Amino acid sequence: MTCAIVGEVKSATRRRRGQVANLAGRLAEDSVAARYEAEGCKVLQARWRGQAGEIDLIVRDGADIVFVEVKKSSTHALAAHRLDRRQMDRICLAALEYAEGIDGGRPIGMRFDAALVDDLGRIDIIRNAFGMN
């Protein structure tokens, strides 16, 4: 094979892996949303995007608004390891941005959960996983 063909094959393989990861992430988010709904919560938004960034799921749990970061990996431990402080801070800023548009900006109860999904589709929800500094 020539270098150009090898480069094209590598690029196509990389694109394919990215597409598979994107689909796996969306499936994980859909599964987590179904889990919250089964627990009696109402999913308000999926993949909400504001100026500060994206929030995977926004859920109403009673009087509280829950901002959920979904992490998919081969194990729950590896999924948890992928959630870093910088990302948590970004999610908190996006949550504040979202909250400003609710009920005229009146104070609301907020919670930040991490939903970890492994390769078998098992879901581990860590409630109050992080908060604002």
Domains of the chain: 3-126 (3.40.1350.10)
Determine if residue 116 is left, alpha or beta; phi over 0 gives left, psi from -120 to 50 gives alpha, anything else beta: beta
| pLDDT tens digits along 110-125 | 999 999 999 999 999 9
What is the distance between the alpha carbons of residues 50 and 67, in angstroms, rounded to a whole number?
13
Give the residue-averaged pLDDT of 46-70. Answer: 97
- pLDDT of 8: 66
Burial of 17 (0-12, 13-18, 19+ CB in 10 A): exposed
Closest CA to 56 of 91, 19, 93, 102: 91
CA gap 124, 28 in Å, rounded? 11
Share of the chain above pLDDT 70, in %: 86
What confidence tens digit (pLDDT) does each residue in 66-119 have?
999 999 999 999 999 999 999 999 999 999 999 988 876 677 899 999 999 999
Position 1 pLDDT exceeds 60: no
Pairing of strands 54-61, 64-72: antiparallel
Look up the pTM and report it.
0.84
